[in-house]
A and B are shown apart, each in its own frame.
Chain A
Amino acid sequence: MTADWSPLWIGLRVALLVSVLALVVAPWSAWLLARRNWPVVTLLARFLASVPAVIVASLAVPAFTWPVAVAAGLVRAVPYTLLACRAAFQCLNPGCVKAARMTGATDLTIFWTLALPLEGRAALRAAAEVFAETMLEVAVALWIGGRLSAPPAAAILLTALAGNALALWLGREAGAIAERQAGR
């Protein structure tokens, strides 16, 4: 009997879309939020980032299709990536930001020329984590629906592990780059 690999393709499609969309939306929002203290927004983002939204959606939405999974994944992925990026942007050397402002740089210019090149790896790392977690969430949702056999489940697990490994590598690289730039 041939295994049904469609859960793997659904998981990949959903996880990739969620990661890419989170990567597009979150960093700029994080940059705008980095210098503001809005405790309610932070609390809400932390709450959403901790909810397994895809699993919840699979239980709550009768017609659970892959676009629904993407939408649900974004509910968790965007705040998660946003918080990770905001924390990274807050570590930017304020002297560099001030120096950029003195040359007339706008928020957008500083974001492109300073924040992303220096701290962009935090966004990539968060996206890799989002990818891994979304893959697992999709797998659990499909398993609850009785649509997951062992071979695709194993493949999904391996893909998620690969995503996590990528996230770890990006984290280590970011640390090494920061040390090199600081001249240590």
Chain B
Amino acid sequence: MTSLRVKKRIPEAFALEADFSFGPGITALIGPPGAGKTLLLEMVAGLATPDEGRILLDDAILFDGQARVNLPPGRRGCGYVSQSDSLFPHRTLRQNLEFAARRLPRLERHRRVAEAIEQFAIADSAALRPADAGATERLRCSIARGLIGGPALLLADDAGIDGALFDLIRVHFRGPILMAARDLDLACTVAAEMALIDHGRIVQRGAPRTVLDQPATAEAARLAGYENLWQGTIATLDRAANLSRVEFGGFSLAVPYLPGHLRGDRVWVAIRAAAVRPRRADSPPAPNVIPAELVRIAARAQSVRLEFAGPLVAELSLSQFAALGDNKGLSLELPGESLRVIP
């Protein structure tokens, strides 16, 4: 179990404050660029020093501001895969691994390097310098370098590791992994736990599905990929009909009954772009249908993104988009089951 309770003030930016623990498995830190993910990872690694707090890895104290304990990076038992290309450019991939293993006895060093080259399938590029090797081999070598010292924790900083490579890492490393990422899909695929971070604060954390389906705050909803987010006022609360109505500027939406709320309370309502259903003018009536003015159509590889005045965004599959016809007189259905009401 790794525990973090750290504070660090970044002049003219934000104050990073984090207090959380994570166990075995992969924990994903999700946030926009500049949210503090890298800084948090660097504080665990020992590459940045918190102003105060405490970092524990299992029973070992890595940092304690009060007791003035601050282990250097090399003694923390952490492997680190950085965001940028950080292999030594003047050394071959093999020599990069040898450098990382240089403190091991000679025979052990040779064994570990040979093992790492085999495990991460970089034998063909081992004699090449990073500039001559492919991007995949460089990334694999960076991971192998992070693991070659036998760390107790692996820190992966938005390094472009995909799901398959994480599977490979899990085969050779069973310890905890703290990864910083922006890709929600990747985090959802590989992580056992997810923490949303923005402006240096952990906004929400938990199992990825829970965090994604039940954002606790508007900020968490935004980070969890809810592109449509409005603040409205509760106009009706009907416990018997299990129905509430939330009023916004020019429209209202029916949502399930909101226990613990009063009429007049302000709440946020969020819905994912993929859950919004554009409807043609001749469609049969349905609840939660609002008029919308189409502003822009953006084609994507597997979908089409429709942007409406409001702003409001809908994402459709290619076949759904084709079924809409000429896109004139569209209205939008916001299905009640897809709406998330956030206090």
Contact = CB atoms under 8 A, between A and B. Distances in A.
Given A113-B99, A181-B131, A182-B131, A102 B90 contact: no
Contacts of A183: 130-132
A37 to B, nearest CB: 13
Listed residue (A98, A102, A103, A104) with the most chain B CB atoms within 10 angstroms of its CB: A102
A35 interface: no
A102 B88 contact: no
A44 B79 CA distance: 41
Interface in A143-184: 180-183
Contact-residue size bin, chain A (C-beta under 8 Å from the other chain)? 10 to 19
B89 A101 contact: no
Contact of B145 (A99, A105, A118, A182): A99
Contact of A101 (B73, B145, B149): B73
Contacts of A93: 84-86, 89
A104 B82 contact: no
A113 B80 CA distance: 19
Q: How large is the interface on B (under 10, 10 to 19, 20 to 34, 35 or more residues)?
A: 20 to 34
A114 B90 CA distance: 8
Contacts, number: 74
Given A98-B47, A181-B129, A104 B88 contact: no
Contacts of A100: 88, 99
The 9 closest A-B pairs by CB, nearest first: A104-B74, A95-B86, A183-B131, A181-B89, A95-B84, A99-B86, A103-B100, A101-B73, A102-B80
Interface of A: 93, 95-96, 98-105, 113-114, 117-118, 180-183
30 contacts: A93-B85, A93-B86, A96-B86, A98-B45, A98-B82, A98-B86, A99-B82, A99-B87, A99-B88, A99-B100, A100-B88, A100-B99, A101-B46, A101-B73, A101-B74, A102-B73, A102-B79, A102-B146, A103-B99, A103-B145, A104-B75, A104-B103, A113-B88, A117-B90, A118-B89, A180-B131, A181-B89, A181-B130, A182-B89, A182-B131
Interface of B: 42, 45-47, 72-75, 78-80, 82-90, 99-100, 102-103, 129-132, 142, 145-146, 149
